[in-house]
Structure 1
Amino acid sequence: MKRSAFSLSSFRRKPESSVPDISWRSVIVAILVVGSLLNRSEAEAPYKLTLPLGLQEEAAYIPPDNPLTPEKIELGRQLYFDGRLSADGTVSCATCHASDQGFSDGRPTSIGIKGQVGERNAPVTFNRLFSQEQFWDGRSASLEDQALKPIENPIEMGNTLDHMVSTLSAIKGYRKQFKQVFGTTVNATGVAKAIAAFERSLVCGNSAFDRYEDGDDNALSESEQRGLELFREKGNCVRCHTGFAFTDERYHNIGVGFDKPNPDLGRYNVTKKESDKGAFKTPTLRNIAASAPYFHDGSAKTLEDVVEFYDKGGIKNPNLSNEIKRLLLTVPEQGDLVAFLKSLSCPELQVAVPALPK
């Protein structure tokens, strides 16, 4: 019997009758291209994106001025892996968001150009199809805007957009693809759109949890099933890690870093609202076992450390979220919760490194 999936608007299971009949194989999303908004090269045909089990097509967001096409996604894949976007050719998007590291980099905080160390942990780049505001503090309103920020960041890629465009324009393969995809010469807007399109194609689903929710009683072990119950009930993890994406896309202060001098104030640096001090965006939990370490500062080395942090009620500070309270989980319960989190893995999500244009 199929179980109902999480709803973005509810933390309880829906009645069985309200669950759509979703194939375990995939959901085909027709991305409609509005020809009047696009140039001819972008408006040739709709593109069908295949979503794995557990993801919801109605929650997908693709801006009308950046529809998906196979050619644009492939261009974005090449740009994502190309270190030539950085000032000295050494740092690419994939440097800090690598598929073999859960689309993060395995470091507490990322290392950029000339070995400079950043201040925050690299967030994952998959399932961005369902997310608009980007970065831990939400300072970018779109994936397209986010795509250019690391290029100009002096610690990350250390480049300027003009220099990046000049570098890419000297590469015949990129000139040809920009003409084909956008009908233009190489430009920063096209770079941003292509990378965003590629990242929207990175989708993580069909986990053991998804198969269990779809009716496969053997998909989760007994420990994982107990962990799921703890996740929904005693742990109240669904209060923030809700919906099929396991995130409310909102910002919360859970106390990370407030046991140190000068903690990162997160969302406050964007909004200047007192209530946003120390608040960071809720990350997705999908594929979480592959992207250690955790939290915005990478201070939790393991999932066990994460669960223990929450079990203790975070770190006290004036803006600690009202949702953060001691959980009083037993050691076996903590183990079960970790087991459930590992069931959210999607090992099928792998991306081959492309041959780069010359």
Structure 2
Amino acid sequence: MAQGSNEFIQNRFRKTLLLESLALIFGDLSPTSASAHMNYLIKLLKSWSSRPCPVDVWRILPESPARSTVKSIFISKISLPINAHPPKAAQTQTLTQDKTTFPPLRKLKNKRTQTAVRKSKGEIMMTIKAIVIPVLIAGAVLTTNMASAEDGLENYRNRFEALPHLPPIPADNSLTEEKIELGNMLFFEPRISSSGVISCATCHNPALGWADRIPRAVGHDGQIGERNTPTVLNSGFLGSQFWDGRAADLEAQALGPIEAPVEMAMDLEMALDRLVGFELYQEKFGEAYPNQEDPITDDNLAHALAAFQRTLNTPNSPFDRYLHGDQEAISEQAKDGMVAFVDNGCIACHRGSNFTDSQFHAIQVPGSTDLGRYVVTEEESDKYRFRTPTLRNVAVTYPYMNNGATETLEEAVAIMGQEMLGREFDNDTIGDITAFLNTLTGEMPEFEVPALP
């Protein structure tokens, strides 16, 4: 692994372990005490770094009165250091090595990462003993003045959910660093396409909101597809994949574009043969699937791609921060837009943490003859039905609609009001809802463009 990649993974585990340790401390507190202590610690932890927590560590807490309180604060506000160093006074203290058991979030096989994690545990527990625990004793006194005044919109705010840092992880595809690294490589690998020049990242470009910002995707031999490219951001939260829902999950989705004649147009066996020809891929597949004699298979290819895509999430948007109590995170116009979004019924389909019900709704957008889910089911009732797209990061994933014919967010809001709600929104309402949608752009995921063999 390149030095940069190894350092990147070490940093993620350092942050994870600090969160694990904090979770163990807070697990026994009452909700009131947990909230008071946590809100004070936010300021301290944010002074170290602006990077967000990479995992939902609150999940390791046992059921307790404080669990939901810790959950809401962990997934929204805490930022952790990449290379945290306690103050000099704390560094001079003599501390006994802690014997806390750290819950294993992942099974680590890479020896360099194991060494880094063992080292991080000692550093982190020193930090917690020297800084965090004293702060817990005094912190509650200072939290009262840090609380923001309520804006009177609790009934609206409570209709929404903040985005977790990770989607549900299937039992048959656990996240490991080796699998994620392999999936990252495969996502950017053009040689699994017939032409040798198209990769997943061609249409799902990280610089373009992990989409392509053109009306319809251009694939093999310059062919133009019938549909707009959906972003892969937060795709692990979806109930199905593709506009027509023909794949149940990311594993089922992963191989489709490789074989599709209009996309990568590659015979799957030929794609695997190409990968076998590279010693580095033999090594990486072996590390990701160590108990298999011949690990370069279509199933493992799909699972590695899916594992990587499940890390491409965008939590901690301005609206997420607002949901967790930061009243200044969004503008007054955006708050008006939130109210309009609820009052006009937009939330009926765009709901939940990912702003989609993952259901299929009939809409025939201007210029489209696409039959939608009917192509999959051949049920007459499914004509022109498409899966509700997420509104997360919608401001950076234009153009809109299944055929990409709608260029601006304002135009999309007006069309959806007419077609789905039977409403003619005035300019003020369109502006307010658009301002609200702009608050759904989250923090882009950490990733590396890999060095391919």
TM-score by length of 1: 0.81
Equivalent in the alignment of 1:54: 162
> Structure 1 stretches of 5 or more lacking a match?
3-16, 46-52, 315-323
Match of 2:229 among 94, 97, 122: 122
Return the alpha-carbon distance in structure 1 between the equivalents of residues 248 and 104 of structure 2. Answer: 21
- Per chain length, whose mean CA-contact separation is higher, i.e. which structure has more relative contact order (CA < 8 Å, sep 6+)? 1
Structure 2 residue 254 is matched with structure 1 residue 147: yes
Return the alpha-carbon distance in structure 1 between the equivalents of residues 278 and 192 of structure 2. Answer: 12
Q: What letter corresponds to residue 185 of structure 2 in structure 1?
A: Q
Equivalent in the alignment of 1:318: none
> Structure 2 stretches of 5 or more lacking a match?
1-34, 36-65, 81-102, 115-160
| Structure 1 pair 18–196 and aligned structure 2 pair: CA distance change class (3 A) | closer
CA-to-partner distance for each residue in 1:268-304, whole Å, 9 max, x for gaps? 1111222111000011101111110011100111101
For the 8 Å contact 2:313–2:444, the answer to whether it is kept is: no
Return the alpha-carbon distance in structure 1 between the equivalents of residues 265 and 350 of structure 2. Answer: 34
Equivalent in the alignment of 2:364: 255
Larger Rg, first or second structure (1 or 2): 2
Q: What letter corresponds to residue 215 of structure 1 in structure 2?
A: G
For the 8 Å contact 1:105–1:122, the answer to whether it is kept is: yes
Query: What does 1:1-358 align with in structure 2 at a 5 Å threshold?
Result: 20-21=69-70, 22-23=72-73, 24-25=76-77, 54-56=162-164, 60-183=167-290, 184-234=294-344, 236-257=345-366, 263-311=369-417, 313-314=418-419, 324-349=420-445, 351-356=447-452, 358=453
Query: Structure 1 residue 222: deviation in Å?
Result: 1.2
| Structure 1 pair 203–230 and aligned structure 2 pair: CA distance change class (3 A) | same
Return the alpha-carbon distance in structure 2 between the equivalents of residues 86 and 31 of structure 1. Answer: 37
Query: Structure 1 residue 188: deviation in Å?
Result: 1.2
Equivalent in the alignment of 1:48: none
CA-to-partner distance for each residue in 1:130-171, whole Å, 9 max, x for gaps? 224210001112211110000001110010111000111101
Return the alpha-carbon distance in structure 1 between the equivalents of residues 104 and 384 of structure 2. Answer: 38
Query: Structure 1 residue 328: deviation in Å?
Result: 2.8
User: Which ranges of 4 or more aligned residues in structure 1 deviate by more than 6 Å?
Assistant: 30-33
Query: Structure 1 residue 86: deviation in Å?
Result: 0.4
Q: What letter corresponds to residue 251 of structure 1 in structure 2?
A: F
Query: Structure 1 residue 18: deviation in Å?
Result: 11
CA-to-partner distance for each residue in 1:189-219, whole Å, 9 max, x for gaps? 1110100000001111111111111111111
CA-to-partner distance for each residue in 1:309-358, whole Å, 9 max, x for gaps? 123x22xxxxxxxxx232232211111111111110124335331111x2
For 1:74, what is the secondary structure of its paired residue?
helix
Return the alpha-carbon distance in structure 2 between the equivalents of residues 18 and 61 of structure 1. Answer: 18
Higher helix share: 2
Q: How many residues align?
A: 313
For 2:255, what is the secondary structure of its paired residue?
helix
For the 8 Å contact 2:164–2:315, the answer to whether it is kept is: no
For the 8 Å contact 2:410–2:434, the answer to whether it is kept is: yes
For 1:197, what is the secondary structure of its paired residue?
helix
For the 8 Å contact 2:241–2:253, the answer to whether it is kept is: yes
Identity %: 41
For the 8 Å contact 2:315–2:443, the answer to whether it is kept is: no
Equivalent in the alignment of 2:99: none
CA-to-partner distance for each residue in 1:169-192, whole Å, 9 max, x for gaps? 101110001111113331111110
Return the alpha-carbon distance in structure 1 between the equivalents of residues 354 and 168 of structure 2. Answer: 13
Return the alpha-carbon distance in structure 2 between the equivalents of residues 31 and 116 of structure 1. Answer: 47
Return the alpha-carbon distance in structure 1 between the equivalents of residues 302 and 104 of structure 2. Answer: 19
Return the alpha-carbon distance in structure 1 between the equivalents of residues 175 and 443 of structure 2. Answer: 24
Q: What letter corresponds to residue 209 of structure 1 in structure 2?
A: F
Q: What letter corresponds to residue 329 of structure 1 in structure 2?
A: F
TM-score by length of 2: 0.65
Return the alpha-carbon distance in structure 1 between the equivalents of residues 69 and 360 of structure 2. Answer: 30
Q: What letter corresponds to residue 300 of structure 2 in structure 1?
A: G
For the 8 Å contact 1:132–1:143, the answer to whether it is kept is: no
Query: Structure 1 residue 237: deviation in Å?
Result: 0.8
Return the alpha-carbon distance in structure 1 between the equivalents of residues 385 and 297 of structure 2. Answer: 35
Q: What letter corresponds to residue 398 of structure 2 in structure 1?
A: A
Return the alpha-carbon distance in structure 1 between the equivalents of residues 449 and 240 of structure 2. Answer: 27
Return the alpha-carbon distance in structure 2 between the equivalents of residues 127 and 54 of structure 1. Answer: 13
Return the alpha-carbon distance in structure 1 between the equivalents of residues 235 and 421 of structure 2. Answer: 30
Return the alpha-carbon distance in structure 1 between the equivalents of residues 273 and 346 of structure 2. Answer: 47
Is 274-283 or 327-336 further displaced after alignment? Answer: 327-336
Return the alpha-carbon distance in structure 1 between the equivalents of residues 444 and 214 of structure 2. Answer: 23
